[in-house]
């Protein structure tokens, strides 16, 4: 592990303090272990509700940990949130976190180059959607996010719209939070195995329960004082594309100690290791181009310009559908480790203290040529240069929350005051200086891709980002029918970049380039109207902020720019009807991102300059429902409409600028819809499945490259025997050829029609 890790004394300082407090309380009566307050609320009052809680993405009475740290349920939160549980992932055959997130209302996801997952929602994608593990973001999605097998997760929570209150810098479009499994006081285990085409197979095994039984007093309920959970997953495939092997291994561990009635200590550790050969997409073949900026322009046979041109007859050549143009020895490999320790101390029924200390590391090496584009003149494939990427990150931090539940003037009130400290120490690197990086062009069919030029990695820079944040969150019952929910967060961010080596020289040169600081205030304020015992209406305003570039990539040319601001107005309704058999949500939103960096022309000199005057906006509506009518039937559906466009944005053409006002941002569909139906039969058989529809998207800001909309259909048949479930599942049964992420000159196509066999078991 990197020498830049904090010392054990630093990491466990708060925990030691709490342990001392626990010792002072050891004489008090103890209660059973309460593992992970982040676990979903278990509604076991009647079977319909318990079934919905596990298998639907609308568990309105589950605690929404990604939306509030006050223990509010989804029904009481003035924001849109979806929850995809482990049971739902297994029922639907959602193998990865990306597949799971796409089940939520209004979400699209895909795996970009080098196995980097990316998400989009409400008109914003890429790094505008923050990806976290247990509420902790190591870096932006494009810098640290990796493919994660869904088996090791307890659930995934998806929060829509700006959320600087919960997660600080970023999260203007929304947040995706991977939640780890927690220990259980009851022994239980589960496993899975599946086999599919192209050498694909998947394994998972998990077990948890009491580890150490010791009675703290005469009460039998205190016997399970130490509990645990351990999970392992292995996912491997050769891939549909040639030379696109992928391997993902994960180990997730957790340990909980209920020291006394008032004190508990829980540790989570996740260890990820992956390796893959990268498929960067199929080159888009075209017969010519037309300049969209010139009236009545004639077709030309030349290389496509994304900023100005439209392709004539764009397509993927079927004969080259499985061809990979990357060189033979390409690879991307990472090791990720996440450790988190949480201490919970209850002073009294109304006063609680929670502290979380965490450390996350990432080591990545990446060797590829990352583009292959059609040359209509030479009629071959032009490839990009050699790309070497090296990352060595260490993130550590501490979150401290103090909660008071005490009425004010006879009205119920919950107040949380908290502080966050983080330090992200990041080493970046690439190809060493004076190396040959050019890659020769190849033919479209049967290309001789060759091996990469001789190269070595070199560390080029070190970036340290420190964040100090303070926040409060409060929920106040104004009346018996109206609840006010508010929160404010203040962040102070300090960045320093040191250059470790200059790639143009053989001798490394170390010097400090610049320092940059930001101060920002974000938050959310809203109201919840309790229309009945099971129906709430809400309205809210939220705010977030992010720099003009990822903090790790920020340079001196961008140092004078302020943070970009995001704000959202949202209103909606959440309710349960038909005696608990139907849950539904409806939301409308208005989201605006301001201070985008855009190119303009100086009115005096005519020179091109950059100014923060750009804006991107989106408006839309989202509807979701989940129905359990009985007799083994289950139905879930959602639909989202988004009108997204640039309100004021200019693109740099090199020789001038062009306005993109009114154009739709890349990779943003207007419509997304999902339907899932399941039916259990008395003889142990079950059928399930449903379609997914995504409308057209654009692959460029010129809106001249169109990724056509698509409909996919998945279905499965399952037989249950005792605690075993045997499933035959078909994916993309309509055999749609589509792009999960819209490209410009490359189309990264999803897999064609497939079938797989799997088994799940529990013990």
Instruction: Judge whether residue 17 has pLDDT over 50.
Output: no
**Confidence label for 657 from pLDDT (cuts 50, 70 and 90):** confident
**Confidence label for 37 from pLDDT (cuts 50, 70 and 90):** very low
Give the Cβ contact number of residue 406 at 10 Å.
11
What is d(CA 481, CA 477) in angstroms, rounded to the nearest whole number?
8
What is d(CA 229, CA 250) in angstroms, rounded to the nearest whole number?
14
Which residue ranges form the domains of the chain, and what is each CATH number?
8-762 (2.40.170.20)
| 638-661: average pLDDT | 87
pLDDT (0 to 100) of residue 477? 97
> Which segment of 216-220, 718-722, 743-747, 748-752 scores lowest on mean pLDDT?
216-220
Phi and psi for 383 in degrees, rounded to 5?
-105, 150
pLDDT digits (tens, 9 = 90+) for 326-365: 999 999 999 999 999 999 999 999 999 999 999 999 999 9
Quote the tokens at residue 763: 């013990």
**Confidence label for 53 from pLDDT (cuts 50, 70 and 90):** low
pLDDT digits (tens, 9 = 90+) for 183-200: 988 999 999 999 999 999
Instruction: Judge whether residue 36 has pLDDT over 50.
Output: no
What is d(CA 229, CA 151) in angstroms, rounded to the nearest whole number?
13
Q: Who contacts 570 (Cβ-Cβ below 8 Å, separation ≥6)? A: 78, 79, 80, 160, 161, 538, 539, 540, 541, 542, 587, 588, 589, 590
pLDDT (0 to 100) of residue 40? 42
Among 211-215, 439-443, 619-623, top mean pLDDT goes to: 619-623
Taking phi over 0 as left and psi of -120 to 50 as alpha, with beta for the rest, 30 belongs to beta
Instruction: Judge whether residue 99 has pLDDT over 60.
Output: yes
**Confidence label for 431 from pLDDT (cuts 50, 70 and 90):** confident
What is d(CA 570, CA 587) in angstroms, rounded to the nearest whole number?
7
pLDDT digits (tens, 9 = 90+) for 248-258: 999 999 999 99
Q: Who contacts 730 (Cβ-Cβ below 8 Å, separation ≥6)? A: 689, 714, 715, 716, 753, 754, 755
User: Global pTM?
Assistant: 0.89
**Confidence label for 433 from pLDDT (cuts 50, 70 and 90):** low
DSSP state of 128: G
| 437-447: average pLDDT | 90
**Confidence label for 35 from pLDDT (cuts 50, 70 and 90):** very low
Instruction: Judge whether residue 753 has pLDDT over 90.
Output: yes
pLDDT (0 to 100) of residue 34? 39
Instruction: Judge whether residue 271 has pLDDT over 50.
Output: yes
- Are the beta carbons of 427 and 459 closer than 8 angstroms? yes
pLDDT digits (tens, 9 = 90+) for 191-231: 999 999 999 999 999 999 998 765 444 444 444 589 999 99
pLDDT digits (tens, 9 = 90+) for 303-312: 999 999 999 9
Average confidence score pLDDT of the chain: 88
**Confidence label for 13 from pLDDT (cuts 50, 70 and 90):** very low
Q: Is the dihedral of CA 536, 537, 541, 545 positive or negative?
A: positive
Q: Could you tell me the CA-to-CA distances from 761 to 56, 191, 679 in Å, in that order?
A: 21, 5, 20
pLDDT (0 to 100) of residue 511? 64
| 72-100: average pLDDT | 94
| 436-465: average pLDDT | 90
pLDDT digits (tens, 9 = 90+) for 603-618: 677 677 778 888 999 9
Question: What is the Cβ-side half-sphere exposure of residue 1, based on CA atoms within 13 angstroms?
Answer: 14
Q: Who contacts 385 (Cβ-Cβ below 8 Å, separation ≥6)? A: 369, 437, 438, 439
Q: Could you tell me the CA-to-CA distances from 376 to 289, 373, 485, 742 in Å, in that order?
A: 10, 10, 59, 22
| 554-568: average pLDDT | 90
What is d(CA 123, CA 100) in angstroms, rounded to the nearest whole number?
20
**Confidence label for 659 from pLDDT (cuts 50, 70 and 90):** confident
3-state class (DSSP) for residue 16: helix
Give the Cβ contact number of residue 709 at 10 Å.
16
């Amino acid at each position: 592990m990197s020498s830049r890790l904090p010392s054990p004394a630093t990491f466990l300082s708060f925990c030691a303090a709490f342990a001392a407090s626990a010792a002072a309380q050891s004489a008090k009566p103890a209660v059973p272990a309460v593992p992970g307050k982040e676990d979903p609320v278990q509604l076991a009052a009647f079977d319909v509700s318990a079934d919905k809680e596990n298998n639907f993405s609308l568990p309105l009475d589950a605690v929404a940990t990604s939306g509030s740290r006050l223990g509010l349920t989804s029904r009481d939160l003035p924001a849109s949130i979806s929850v995809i549980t482990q049971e739902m992932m297994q029922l639907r055959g959602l193998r990865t976190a990306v597949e799971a997130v796409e089940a939520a209302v209004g979400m699209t996801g895909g795996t970009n180059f080098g196995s980097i997952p990316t998400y989009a929602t409400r008109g914003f994608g890429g790094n505008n959607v923050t990806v976290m593990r247990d509420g902790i973001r190591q870096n932006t999605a494009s810098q640290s996010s990796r493919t994660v097998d869904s088996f090791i997760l307890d659930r995934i929570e998806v929060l829509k719209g700006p959320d600087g209150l919960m997660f600080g810098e970023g999260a203007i479009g929304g947040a995706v939070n991977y939640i780890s499994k927690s220990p259980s006081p009851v022994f239980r285990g589960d496993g899975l195995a599946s086999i599919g085409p192209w050498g694909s197979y998947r394994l998972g095994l998990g077990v948890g329960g009491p580890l150490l039984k010791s009675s703290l007093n005469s009460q039998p309920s205190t016997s399970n004082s130490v509990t645990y959970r351990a999970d392992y997953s292995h996912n491997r495939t050769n891939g549909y594309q040639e030379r696109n092997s992928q391997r993902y291994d994960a180990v997730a561990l957790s340990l909980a100690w209920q020291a006394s009635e008032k004190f508990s200590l829980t540790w989570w550790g996740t260890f990820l290791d992956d390796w893959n050969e990268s498929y960067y997409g199929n080159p888009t073949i075209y017969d010519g181009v037309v300049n969209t900026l010139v009236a009545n322009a004639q077709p030309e046979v030349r290389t496509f310009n994304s900023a100005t041109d439209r392709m004539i007859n764009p397509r993927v050549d079927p004969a080259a559908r499985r061809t990979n143009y990357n060189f033979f020895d390409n690879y991307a490999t990472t090791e990720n480790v996440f450790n988190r320790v949480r201490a919970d101390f209850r002073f009294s029924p109304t006063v609680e203290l929670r502290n979380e200390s965490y450390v996350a590391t990432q080591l990545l090496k990446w060797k590829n040529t990352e583009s292959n584009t059609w040359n209509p003149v030479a009629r071959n494939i032009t490839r990009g240069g050699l790309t070497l990427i090296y990352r060595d990150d260490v993130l550590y931090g501490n979150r401290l929350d103090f909660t008071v539940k005490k009425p004010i003037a006879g009205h119920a009130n919950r107040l949380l005051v908290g502080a966050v400290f983080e330090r992200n120490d990041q080493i970046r690197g690439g190809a060493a200086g004076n190396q040959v990086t050019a890659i020769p062009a190849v033919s479209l069919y049967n290309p001789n891709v060759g091996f990469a030029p001789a190269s070595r990695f070199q560390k080029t820079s070190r970036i340290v980002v420190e964040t100090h944040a303070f926040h409060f969150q409060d929920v106040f019952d104004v009346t018996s029918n109206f609840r006010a929910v508010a929160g404010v967060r203040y962040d102070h961010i300090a960045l320093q970049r040191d250059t470790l080596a200059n790639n143009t020289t053989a001798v490394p040169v170390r010097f400090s380039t610049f320092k940059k600081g930001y101060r920002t205030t974000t938050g959310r304020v809203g109201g919840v109207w309790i229309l009945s015992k099971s129906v709430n209406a809400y309205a809210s305003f939220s705010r977030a902020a992010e720099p003009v570039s990822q903090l790790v990539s920020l340079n001196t040319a961008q140092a004078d720019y302020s943070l970009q601001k995001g704000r959202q107005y949202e209103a909606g309704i959440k309710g349960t009807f038909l005696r608990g058999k139907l849950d539904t949500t409806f939301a409308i939103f208005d989201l605006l991102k301001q201070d985008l960096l855009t190119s303009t022309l100086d009115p005096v000199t005519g020179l091109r300059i950059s100014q923060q005057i750009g804006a991107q906006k989106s408006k839309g509506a989202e509807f979701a429902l989940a129905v359990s009518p009985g007799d083994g039937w289950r139905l879930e559906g959602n639909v989202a409409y988004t009108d997204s466009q640039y309100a004021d944005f200019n693109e740099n053409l090199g020789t001038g600028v062009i306005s993109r006002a009114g154009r739709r941002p890349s990779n943003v569909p207007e419509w997304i819809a999902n339907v899932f139906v399941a039916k259990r039969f008395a003889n142990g058989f079950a059928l399930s499945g449903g379609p997914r529809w995504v409308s057209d998207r654009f692959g460029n800001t010129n809106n001249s490259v169109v990724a056509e909309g698509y409909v996919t259909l998945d279905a499965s048949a399952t037989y249950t025997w005792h605690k075993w479930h045997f499933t035959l599942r078909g994916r993309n049964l309509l055999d749609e050829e589509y792009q999960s992420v819209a490209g410009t000159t490359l189309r990264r196509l999803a897999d064609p029609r497939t079938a797989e066999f799997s088994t799940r078991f529990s013990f």
